[in-house]
Structure 1
Amino acid sequence: MSVDTAPVGSATPAAASPKVPLRQWLAVIAVATATFAMVTVESLPVGLLTAISGGLGVSEGLAGLTVTLPGLLAAISAPVLPILIRRLDRRLVLLSLLAVMLAATLTSALAPNFGVMLASRVFVGIAIGGFWALAASVAVRLVPERHIPRATSLAFGGATAANVMGAPAATLIGGLTDWRIAFGVVAALGALVAVALYALLPKLPATTIVSPRTLLAQLRNPAVRAAVTATFLLVGAHWAAYTFISPILQQTSGLDATLIGPAQLAFGVAGILGTVVAGSAAARDPRRALIGAGVLLAASLALFPLAGATPAGGLVLLVLWGLAFGGVPVGVQSWIFKAAPEAAEAATALNTSMFNLAIAAGAAVGGVVVSATGTTGVLWIGAAFGAVAGLAVWATGRSLAK
């Protein structure tokens, strides 16, 4: 059974014309802004853990569950939700998930105790996983086929921008005022995004339904299997090392602690640029775009202990690292659309689940490696994962060409 994706550009009759109407691009931008809000909500507690733990009377370690729990729930909901929604209009589903996120974030802002806070974060995780499973496939239904890579890069660019601007801005708001106000501000952003999606998205009826058989069938597709594997390895490689970026920059590169924040901003800006560049490259050859991102990521991490031993060298490699990782999501997703056009939603759901699992697994493996060998070890481990991912994509492409 095939997945419920209508032919690209079928959302409106105008999509078939050579020139895409502005309203359709505004709809894509609205989807990107929604991903921006979702990712900001997911990572919001990271910079506010101390304030949250103090305000709710729990340890910082326990407060860390507000970050890890949504990630685990997102990994579960990503493949499950497409099965449950069956033939529901995807526009309605996205709006409903935004409403869940909005209600959960408001509940977080008003939580009288840690139990209520943690319960609200469970619903945040469910909303994030479901939204991510649908967002990319919805975005590409709004434009003609030749604009799919650009629409994909815009959709994922919203997530990258959240890491660069959304989470830091919310942390700043919480630091200047109160952590509850930061949650309230992000909830207000979610409400505005919901209004924009309601006004701009056309009806997006399902054509067929996703079943467990559909999901399992994607794992038998060599290209999809390689793409999902590449996601796990590349995202895991990134988070294994990036979780410890502050000690890496200080201990390996000798960067002053006051410059860590600006350095991370440079990384984020490079990530946005990498998303744009990879989107353009994927329009020509998504497989090569993904291989390029993997090779650059592996090289950046491998060279860090050597060429990154000075502040200047560390910053250059950090920017290259950002460029590489920014290209990973759009490269993988573009290849999935090409490898499984009739089952894009099911394949995307699997990839979204693997993405969230990789974040948790990468951070966990990184912690073990850093404890045993120090920051240099985690850089080498990340480089090895990146190289294996590139080889997997290359080998799969060769086998499919035969």
Structure 2
Amino acid sequence: MISRDSTVGISEERGAWGAVFSMSLCVAMLIASEFMPVSLLTPMAQSLDATEGLTGQAISISGIFAVAASLLMTTMAGRINRKWVLVTMTGLMLLSLVLIATAPNFALLMVARALLGICIGGFWALGTAVIMRLVPREAVSRALAIMYTGQAVAAAFAAPIGSYLGGIIGWRGVFWILVPIVAVTLMWQLLALPSMPANDRQSFRSLIDVLKRPYFARGMAAVIFTFAGAFSMFTYLRPFLETVTGADVITLSQLFLILGCSGFVGTWAGGKFANDYIVRLLQLVPLVMGAVTLGLLGFGQVVAVAAVLLAVWGAMNTSMSISWMAWLSQNVDDSPEAAGSLIVAAIQASILLGAGLGGLLLDHIGIHATFIGSALLSGLAALLVGTGNNLLKNTR
């Protein structure tokens, strides 16, 4: 016979995992909303009477606001219950999508994208800390993997689906489709997320105190080089595949789908191994990603080889985020919100920096220089990780 206490415990556990899955859906919508304009850039530019280059800034502005929001969120949120902070972020995403779908001009589009950037930075700054409060310590890496499954789904399917539907119902119609899904996400969070009062009032002093820890500062440097290396390559993957691999539109779609779907493997691996083998993962990811980038330079002319290498890269790409968030949960468990704010700001900034550096190399030297630069950044990240001992709090 099952006791009442046991029944309550099972119910609470199911509720916690329901909350984790609601966050996974929210992640999928955030990623889809953030990168959907990539596949709809041309029709959006034509509709808003703007150049494609100018419309592309709608993507970068969300990143800039995400950096600011990730640094400010935990301090400005103060003692507000973390459930209501997350619900507010999802509500702002809903508003942002409505504004994008109805934007009569480029100016309002930029305002809407800035709002989305606040949602992105705010959600990710608190995401890992919330996961740590929802599930037991031994289940954190599995819960993080579930949350990042939303990222893998969006990365694999959002762009091709958005491009296809955009040709049928127009780019505004694509964003209108996202609106009811985000509304469902909002309702799910209201029902599934438990009350999570803020533990302590965060301040900029708490951010500085965490950053002063030598192992954390070294980890932040490794994070910056790891993500900058990844995105200096990924941002310019299409021109590489078009000019070096010689891929046509159909082959491009197939290669990007392979890359996206392999992310599910990386999500599974991150959830399974991050808890016990965090140092090994932190060492492996930049080394493999750098090697794959060089492999593409050497053998990317062959479509089959490029497909295999992109599958490996895609798996590493999703395990990269899970690995660093698992490292945070294990080594800054006394101040996860402050650490989360800093690491999310570093990731968003490194994405912008990596893309900027890759673009400069592409414009002034060529695509080969962009990929070599990416591999060098990944190599520097691997050197910073080193044996991993300097990244662990118990070896300070």
**Aligning the two structures, in what range does the TM-score lie when normalised by the shorter sequence?**
over 0.9
**2:307 equivalent to 1:315:** yes
After TM superposition, give the deviation of residue 277 of structure 1 in Å. 0.3
Aligned with 2:20 (options 15, 25, 28): 28
Change beyond 3 A, Cα 1:377–1:18: farther
Aligned with 1:65 (options 29, 47, 57): 57
**2:45 equivalent to 1:53:** yes
**2:255 equivalent to 1:263:** yes
After TM superposition, give the deviation of residue 358 of structure 1 in Å. 1.4
After TM superposition, give the deviation of residue 196 of structure 1 in Å. 0.7
> Structure 1 counterpart of 2:272, which letter?
S
Q: Residues 23 and 200 of structure 1 are in contact (CA less than 8 Å); yes or no, is this contact kept in structure 2? A: yes
Change beyond 3 A, Cα 1:51–1:208: same
Separation (CA, whole Å) in 2 of partners of 1:214 and 1:122: 26
Aligned with 1:276 (options 268, 285, 296): 268
Which structure 2 residues correspond to residues 3-402 of structure 1 after superposition, within 5 A? Answer: 21-395=13-387, 397-398=389-390, 401=395
TM-score (norm 1): 0.92
After TM superposition, give the deviation of residue 108 of structure 1 in Å. 1.3
Corresponding residue SS for 2:189: helix
Change beyond 3 A, Cα 1:203–1:383: same
Separation (CA, whole Å) in 2 of partners of 1:232 and 1:35: 21
Gaps of 5+ in 1: 1-12
The superposition leaves residues 89-123 of structure 1 with CA deviations (integer Å, 9 ceiling, x where unpaired) of 11101101111111121011111222222111111
Separation (CA, whole Å) in 1 of partners of 2:8 and 2:63: 38
After TM superposition, give the deviation of residue 16 of structure 1 in Å. 11
Change beyond 3 A, Cα 1:365–1:140: same
> Structure 2 counterpart of 1:290, which letter?
L
Change beyond 3 A, Cα 1:359–1:398: closer
Separation (CA, whole Å) in 2 of partners of 1:310 and 1:162: 27
After TM superposition, give the deviation of residue 14 of structure 1 in Å. 8.1
Separation (CA, whole Å) in 1 of partners of 2:8 and 2:214: 31
After TM superposition, give the deviation of residue 26 of structure 1 in Å. 1.7
Q: Residues 58 and 110 of structure 2 are in contact (CA less than 8 Å); yes or no, is this contact kept in structure 1? A: yes
Separation (CA, whole Å) in 1 of partners of 2:7 and 2:370: 47
> Structure 2 counterpart of 1:121, which letter?
R
> Structure 2 counterpart of 1:130, which letter?
G
The superposition leaves residues 221-242 of structure 1 with CA deviations (integer Å, 9 ceiling, x where unpaired) of 2332233222221211111111
After TM superposition, give the deviation of residue 166 of structure 1 in Å. 2.5
Partner of 1:4: none
After TM superposition, give the deviation of residue 173 of structure 1 in Å. 2.0
Separation (CA, whole Å) in 1 of partners of 2:360 and 2:169: 36
Q: Residues 270 and 323 of structure 1 are in contact (CA less than 8 Å); yes or no, is this contact kept in structure 2? A: yes
Q: RMSD of the alignment, in Å?
A: 2.1
Aligned residues: 390
> Structure 2 counterpart of 1:40, which letter?
A
Change beyond 3 A, Cα 1:86–1:380: same
Corresponding residue SS for 1:279: helix
After TM superposition, give the deviation of residue 40 of structure 1 in Å. 1.1
Separation (CA, whole Å) in 2 of partners of 1:399 and 1:386: 17
Gaps of 5+ in 2: none
Corresponding residue SS for 2:274: helix
Q: Residues 15 and 143 of structure 1 are in contact (CA less than 8 Å); yes or no, is this contact kept in structure 2? A: no
Q: Residues 32 and 156 of structure 1 are in contact (CA less than 8 Å); yes or no, is this contact kept in structure 2? A: yes
The superposition leaves residues 283-329 of structure 1 with CA deviations (integer Å, 9 ceiling, x where unpaired) of 10212211111211111112222233311211111111111111110
Separation (CA, whole Å) in 1 of partners of 2:373 and 2:210: 29
> Structure 1 counterpart of 2:183, which letter?
A
After TM superposition, give the deviation of residue 364 of structure 1 in Å. 1.0
After TM superposition, give the deviation of residue 399 of structure 1 in Å. 7.4
After TM superposition, give the deviation of residue 372 of structure 1 in Å. 2.8
